[in-house]
Structure 1
């Protein structure tokens, strides 16, 4: 009886057993403590950033864009695959956790024995028990479970990173479509203007006050504009195809933007703090840290393999000659056995498993630090662009205004007969280029804000599982 009590108490004793996993200490981030500022970088506020706590609906303020992003989060196939991988990691963690508990099986048997007098005797047996339940004296099973937990958490952080990237990708594609629509409209307006100019030159030649060279030059300019319109129409169709792929289903026309305008479909400012600690909260950085923690648990499991394993086998049940009174017969049977196993020789497999676990830890540490460095660069690059884009837009806006003025003056000079046709044509080309460049600058600013939002870890939403 004392032996049975001792075996029964072993699972409780195992709860306080050894754990050979090394103690985890968060590595010091291999980046400056503050985000860059000064020079091309904008001056940053001294408060901690709230960008990663800002919901994407608060950042993307256009209702159509909000609906597009929501649809992408529900329909995008890459995100669905990521969610499935999260569920798989969760299930595997639960499988490893189940090893901490004994597996209990139940059996029932019936046997009939015929005696010499022809009488048949029935024997009934009902039993339940566990076989080879390992007592986790050295923490091997707990570290395996811990490793699976960290792997699951890393996968879930990967889901968040994929989600944030999808929000940014959908928004960027939507804004690119808007900018392409603006570029197409300018090209179409240029075609209409150059077609009108060609008609004027044809009439001037017919009346003897124009030349064939002016007609040919005007025709060339018109053809160039028509080719640009064809290219932009192709680009607009391709931009829609790309947006449909990102979203996961075809979008209706009412959800598509007609113009980028000044890019006010998103917030024009984002709170950014001085500390680079915000990078440690990015999902991809957290995922890398969970992977690193998993390797610490793997080392603990590998170290525990050097020590003997203690297995417990227990069986209890009832036996009776009659089924109706099997639980009342008082014939209760029970057995408890324990076995200790120590590996003597394995050709160095156990030692090499430990060496491999330590090498995996070193690799995971390097990956974690590299992930932080990459995050720092992404934020620094976005801040560098943010610090100069407004100046670029001001210059492009001034260029467009002056190019428009120059075109009007040169056209008036041509109409008055004091300038040849090449003067207004060159001015019109300059104006066309300036208008297209202004659209590109505005798109760059909008895309930069989206990238800064993503790089700071913003855009997170809760996932609704089916």
Structure 2
């Protein structure tokens, strides 16, 4: 009996290699083979010496304060924690599905004592009987001759791998979000400091104008305009104080905990905060962007589901078998001659189901077609994101250079206006106009620098930066 069960198990294992899953072929990427070219892109689109995925975030972010904040967020952010737990949950589901490939062996013991009254006994006398058994075997084990269970196991594996890539996407998004929140915080702090300095200059100018007005040198219009400049600067001061506080709160929420007490001094906005990110080629995105890998794993899962739907058209064969011992007396349960065994194969062949199986197969194939379209759309969106950010990187650099040149011109204008006002050549209105222009240009320079840094961070994110290993730690089935 044991040899028969062993032979059957070996035969089932050999036959279970049959699979009705369609051969998988990755769809062609519906995008160009290279990034767009033109004045807005400069030479950035042709760079490809080093892939962004090989540039770890500690290398990309040069600011020590930002490096520490990213590390804190990776350890404490709740969205990332949920994503990691989802990976473990899908891993458990895969293990559950894979377990159906093997028989569940159980040891069972049972005992019964029964008394029959005389009018129910065949002998006409009341009697008490017993039955005891101990068995070891398998119950309703489906022999996967046509690969239905193996297809479902493959589907669960691909879903697990897709969830793993979703967690990686969450991490990359978190790193970029922390970087952008930190840069916004730094920029608003710089704007707040600029506003304080400008307010101080406006107040000094107002006091000077007030003294001139008191002695009759300046008219009431100039005094009123000087006062309005002070009030306007105070409005900006309150605005940036609020923004700095809100930026800190937003950063704290991303971290999942308070700001570190030992946070080092950050670099200035005009310092080299970020490493250069080469663009690579569009095809590289397929190997390094987690959202594209996730979409492909989902496509493979839908493909595997077709195999399960096809296998449902074929007979389902299951096996129940056990061996053990039985006796009417507990004391004789393991006596010689008490052995018992059961061998019960069962086959179920679908004959009529009102088109249910055909509909299930059609649905599985349609789901696969949907996943193909979604995969292609994900590639197109990824291509657009990178192309947009390549254009932003080049044009923001040009804009920043132009803004710096404008600042130099405005500073010269302010110096000339101040000297001409001191010497009585021009009115105070000219000086006030120069002060306001200088304040506005300095504000815009900080804003442009923030936009340029944010575009670099978004490019790093769009290129799949942050993960050097796109492989999987999935269990092998």
TM-score (normalised: structure 2): 0.90
Cα displacement (A) at 1:48: 5.0
Could you say if the C-alpha distance between residues 392 and 100 of structure 1 is closer, same or farther in structure 2, counting changes exceeding 3 Å? same
Matched, 1:93 2:101: no
Show structure 2 runs of 5+ residues with no match: 117-122, 473-477
Say whether residues 1:449 and 2:449 are aligned partners: no
What is the Cα deviation at residue 332 of structure 1? 2.7
Aligned residue among 181, 200, 209 for 2:217: 209
**Which deviates the most, 341-350 or 281-290?**
341-350
Q: How many pairs does the alignment contain? A: 462
C-alpha distance 253-433 of structure 1, shift in aligned 2 (>3 A): farther
Partner of 2:445: 438
Q: Which residue of 2 aligns with 1:363?
A: 370
Inter-CA distance 307–113: structure 2 relative to 1 (3 Å threshold): closer
SS in 2 for 1:363: helix
Distance 2:76 2:6 in 1: 57
- Residue equivalent to 2:191: 183
* 1:379 matched to 2:389: no
- Cα displacement (A) at 1:277: 2.6
Equivalent residue of 1:131, what SS? strand
| 1:308 positional shift | 1.1
The CA deviation string for residues 338-357 of structure 1, in whole angstroms up to 9 with x for no partner, is: 11101222221111111110
Aligned to 2:208: 200
Cα 1:445–1:254, aligned 2, differ >3 Å: closer, same or farther? Answer: farther
Deviation, 1:280, is 3.8
Seen in structure 2, the aligned counterparts of structure 1 residues 253 and 240 have a Cα distance that, compared at 3 Å, is: farther
Contact 2:21-2:304 at 8 Å conserved across structures = yes
What residue number does 2:181 align with?
173
Q: Distance in 1 between matches of 2:49 and 2:331?
A: 73
Structure 2 CA distance for aligned equivalents of residues 210 and 324 of structure 1? 121
Deviation at 1:137, TM superposition (A): 1.0
Distance 1:433 1:328 in 2: 101
Corresponding residue SS for 2:277 = coil
The C-alpha deviation readout for 1:431-453, integer Å capped at 9, x for no partner, is 11110111112111211111111
Partner of 2:31: 31
Provide the C-alpha distance between the structure 1 equivalents of 2:390 and 2:192, rounded to a whole number of angstroms.
Answer: 30
1:202-250 CA deviation, whole Å, 9 max, x = no partner? Answer: 1111122122221111000100010001001111111111111111122
Matched with 1:134 is 142
* Contact kept? 2:64, 2:264, Cα under 8 Å: no
Contact 2:16/2:146 (CA < 8 Å) preserved in 1? no
Partner residue of 2:354?
Answer: 347
Shift of residue 47, structure 1, vs aligned partner: 4.3
Structure 2: distance between partners of 1:343 and 1:153: 33
Match of 1:249 in 2: 257
- Cα deviation for residue 424 of structure 1 reads 0.6
- Please give the secondary structure, in 1, of the residue aligned with 2:28: coil
Report how far residue 327 of structure 1 moved.
5.0
Relative to structure 1, the CA distance from residue 279 to residue 15 in structure 2 (aligned partners, 3 Å threshold; closer, same or farther) is closer
Distance 2:7 2:342 in 1: 13
Once the two structures are overlaid, the 10-residue window that deviates more, 284-293 or 398-407, is 398-407
Decide whether aligned partners of structure 1 residues 173 and 4 sit closer, same or farther in structure 2, where only a CA change above 3 A counts: closer
1:148-159 equivalences in 2 (<5 Å):
148-159=156-167
Measure how far apart 1:334 and its partner are. Answer: 1.7
**2:160 matches 1:145:** no
Distance 1:8 1:332, change over 3 A: farther
Query: More deviation in 67-76 or 4-13?
Result: 4-13
Residue equivalent to 1:389 = 396
Displacement after TM superposition at 1:39 (Å): 2.3
Task: Look up the match of 1:309.
Answer: 316
Counterpart for residue 54 of structure 2:
53
Q: What RMSD over aligned residues (CA atoms) do the two structures have, in Å?
A: 2.7
Q: Cα distance, 1:260 vs. partner?
A: 4.0
CA distance in 2, matches of 1:319, 1:35: 77
- How big is the shift at 1:279? 3.9
Gaps of 5+ in 1: none
CA contact (8 A) 2:114 2:128 kept: yes
In structure 2, the residue matched to 1:236 is: 244
Per-residue CA deviation, residues 344-391 of structure 1 (Å, 9 max, x unaligned), is 222211111111101100110001011111111111111111122222
Distance 1:356 1:274, change over 3 A: closer
Task: Give me the whole-angstrom Cα distance separating, in 1, the residues matched to 2:300 and 2:112.
Answer: 55
The separation in 2 between residues aligned to 1:254 and 1:421, in whole angstroms, is 48
How far apart are the structure 2 equivalents of 1:434 and 1:246?
32
Q: Please say which of residues 112-121 and 240-249 is displaced more in the overlay.
A: 112-121
Provide the rounded CA distance (Å) in 1 between the counterparts of 2:97 and 2:290. Answer: 25
1:264 to 257, 266, 272: 272
